[in-house]
Structure 1
Amino acid sequence: MKTIKNMLAFAVLLIISIQVNAQTDKETTIRVINAQNFIFNATSAMPMANMDVNNILSKMPGGNGGGLIQLTGSQYQLTVTKDSVEAYLPYYGRAYTATMNPDDSGIKFKSKNFKYKADKKKKGSWLITINPKDTKDTQSMTLNVSENGYATLNVNSNNRQSISFNGYINEPKQKK
């Protein structure tokens, strides 16, 4: 009986610690999405060309493939404000046309002409669609955001296979 009580107490503590570990509280998530002022921080990438990426990753030291690329320690992000969308994200996968500039290999752009649509879904999640009009390659970006701020970003391009990123949103730090 004592063992069951200890296990129950441990389970309650575990659940409480998971709730405390949420990236963003519900009110902040709602506020930044409605204000159209947030930063998506990418923590992992999932290319759609998994077989090609797995072949490369399995040949690297410590690589095990799996199609999930961890981006820990990086500053890859998508910044959304009312007047602009700025992307600085890596790209892994197959490109249908190569760029002449090697600096253009990732998903990097700043758009001031874009369409933004945020729809609230069941259970407090959000579906945000961003369509940049003044970028040469990125066609659409879809962001699925949970009420805790965890998010999945899907990027569709004209000249590349699609790629997804896992991460979280937060509000930008105020400039002093």
Structure 2
Amino acid sequence: MKHLKSILSFALLIAAIQTFAQTNKETTNKIVTAKNYTFVANMAIPMANNDITNLLNRLPGGQGGSTINLTGSQYDVRVTKDSVIAYLPYYGRSFSAPYPGSDGGIKFTSKDFTYTETKNKKGAYTIQINTKDVKTENYRLTINISTNGYASLMASSVNKQPINFNGYLSESKKKDL
């Protein structure tokens, strides 16, 4: 009887995960192939080092680990055929001082970039975006996308430690473009 309860609980959990998937396989394929999607960040995961860990422990609601909850924020990366617009926070070590007047973070609009898309046998995508025209510094964004729309993004540049974000893909709305 105990075994049956655990099997039913597991089946319910799997059904709930599928119900709350961000997009279905067809939608994910459509928006990635059309290069018209938005990566919405739910969690930031900075590179682990003692300075960052100490800072995260002091933040209100600090989790003691190396993750920062961004749920409910407006942090995202919008990708279209002709532009990439990033509005992400940055937690980590920077190897150069920010330009005067900049508010930090990973915030840019790029119209000159390379875009490489690969798809594995199971239908998951890996997107590689390299910006070429950002004034402050150019970024390499690597987005791994599952078939149901969940995604992880790694942002790296010459002047900052890499940072990872977890989130999901959504269709870009007309006003976003």
TM-score with structure 1 setting the length = 0.90
Matched length? 174
**What one-letter code is carried by the residue in structure 2 that aligns with 1:141?**
L
Residue of structure 1 in register with 2:36 after alignment: 37
Residue of structure 1 in register with 2:59 after alignment: 60
- Any idea what the Cα deviations from partners look like across 1:118-155, whole Å, max 9, x if unmatched? 10013211110001110131331110111111111011
* Rounded Cα–Cα distance in structure 2 between residues aligned with 1:61 and 1:84: 36
Residue of structure 2 in register with 1:140 after alignment: 140
* Rounded Cα–Cα distance in structure 2 between residues aligned with 1:117 and 1:6: 46
**Structure possessing the higher radius of gyration over alpha carbons:** 1
Indicate whether 1:131 and 2:130 are aligned.
yes
- Any idea what the Cα deviations from partners look like across 1:4-24, whole Å, max 9, x if unmatched? 555544443332222111111
TM-score with structure 2 setting the length = 0.90
* Rounded Cα–Cα distance in structure 2 between residues aligned with 1:115 and 1:79: 15
144-153 vs 60-69, greater mean Cα deviation? 60-69
Distance 1:11 1:164, change over 3 A: closer
Q: CA RMSD in A?
A: 1.8
**What one-letter code is carried by the residue in structure 1 that aligns with 2:170?**
N
8-17 vs 139-148, greater mean Cα deviation? 8-17
In structure 1, list runs of 5 or more residues that go unmatched: none
Residue of structure 1 in register with 2:70 after alignment: 71
Distance 1:109 1:120, change over 3 A: same
Please tell me whether the aligned partners of residues 149 and 168 of structure 1 are also in contact (alpha carbons under 8 angstroms).
Answer: yes
- Any idea what the Cα deviations from partners look like across 1:18-64, whole Å, max 9, x if unmatched? 21111110001111110000000000111114321111122334423
* Rounded Cα–Cα distance in structure 2 between residues aligned with 1:12 and 1:60: 37
**What one-letter code is carried by the residue in structure 2 that aligns with 1:86?**
I
**What one-letter code is carried by the residue in structure 2 that aligns with 1:83?**
D
Please tell me whether the aligned partners of residues 45 and 165 of structure 1 are also in contact (alpha carbons under 8 angstroms).
Answer: yes
- Any idea what the Cα deviations from partners look like across 1:57-108, whole Å, max 9, x if unmatched? 2233442321111111100000000110000000000111111335341101
Residue of structure 1 in register with 2:93 after alignment: 94
* Rounded Cα–Cα distance in structure 1 between residues aligned with 2:9 and 2:63: 34
Please tell me whether the aligned partners of residues 138 and 155 of structure 1 are also in contact (alpha carbons under 8 angstroms).
Answer: no
1:1-176 equivalent positions in 2, closer than 5 A: 1=1, 5=4, 7-135=6-134, 136-175=136-175
Distance 1:95 1:11, change over 3 A: closer
In structure 2, list runs of 5 or more residues that go unmatched: none
